[in-house]
Amino acid sequence: MRDEKIISVIDLIIFYGDDLILDNISFEVIEGEILVILGTSGCGKSTLLRQMVGLSHPWAGKIIIDGNEITSRDEEAFNRTIRKIGILFQSGALIGSMTLAENVALPIIEFTDIPVQSVENLVKMKLSMVGLTGYENHLPSEISGGMKKRAGLARAMALNPKILFLDEPTAGLDPVIAAEIDELILGINRSIGTTMVIVTHELDSIFKVAQRVIMLDSITKGILDEGDPRDLKMNSSEPFVRQFFNRQAGSAKK
């Protein structure tokens, strides 16, 4: 992993209506790392992810991705950036009327001029990378929840992104399938070096894939702690962080 920042979040303030969600938070993501954003329900994890991929704009602050400030409302800068990222939504967000191959092909057709035959070959390669060879012509309704996550990941990888944003990639999956998704995430990171930003509260996944975590705090609206989850489990100065990683009862952050 290279010690170069690829994402900078600077003094970010986020409101949802009149409610303050996150207050003046700053952090960086290093190129090639797997960063997990975690915290209790309602702390702003998914809201922060939406800001980082440009689906929403913050009240104040900056988000810089690979040299482009996406919070500047500069459409050209945003369009340059969107081609460098892939997004796996919690539901998979596959289009139900389209086959898996058509879902994966969609961003390739939208953003490139690759010939049709090459698109077909590229789609097969992406589906193969996530273990879905032979399922090209299946509809999302014809496959399991774990396979939908895999197909969503294949689509997120369609444009060979430098950065993948994953929202609860193992939510709702049984432990065996969740472990397979974790292995897939690690394999992509190790083989290609893709930077990953993951929102999850699943402890097994956090300890398996995270190289660093940021824990958001619903009370202070800031970052409660950050670091290697294995170190925070034993050595965090914040009692709640230790309780979280050790599955211990205590006064909950609400």
pLDDT tens digits for the chain (254 residues)?
Answer: 457 999 999 999 999 889 999 999 999 999 999 999 999 888 899 999 999 998 888 999 999 999 989 988 778 878 888 889 999 987 778 999 999 999 999 999 988 899 988 999 999 999 999 999 999 999 999 999 999 999 999 999 999 999 999 999 998 889 999 999 999 999 999 999 999 999 998 999 999 999 999 999 999 999 999 999 999 999 999 999 999 999 886 655 54
C-beta of residue 130 within 8 angstroms of C-beta of residue 143:
no
Q: How far apart are CA 207 and CA 202, in angstroms?
A: 9
The span from the first CA to the last CA of the chain, in angstroms, equals 35
Query: 3-class SS at 165?
Result: strand
DSSP state of 142: G
Which tokens hold the place of 234?
A: 């034993």
**Residue 2, pLDDT score:** 53
**Residue 50, pLDDT score:** 92
**Residue 5, pLDDT score:** 95
**Residue 250, pLDDT score:** 61
pTM recorded for the entire structure:
0.91
**What's phi and psi for 106, nearest 5 deg?**
-55, -55
**Residue 81, pLDDT score:** 86
**Residue 1, pLDDT score:** 45
Which tokens hold the place of 64?
A: 């810089």
Domains detected in the chain: 32-57+82-245 (3.40.50.300)
**Residue 229, pLDDT score:** 97
**Residue 254, pLDDT score:** 47
**Residue 3, pLDDT score:** 73
**Residue 190, pLDDT score:** 94
C-beta of residue 44 within 8 angstroms of C-beta of residue 214:
no
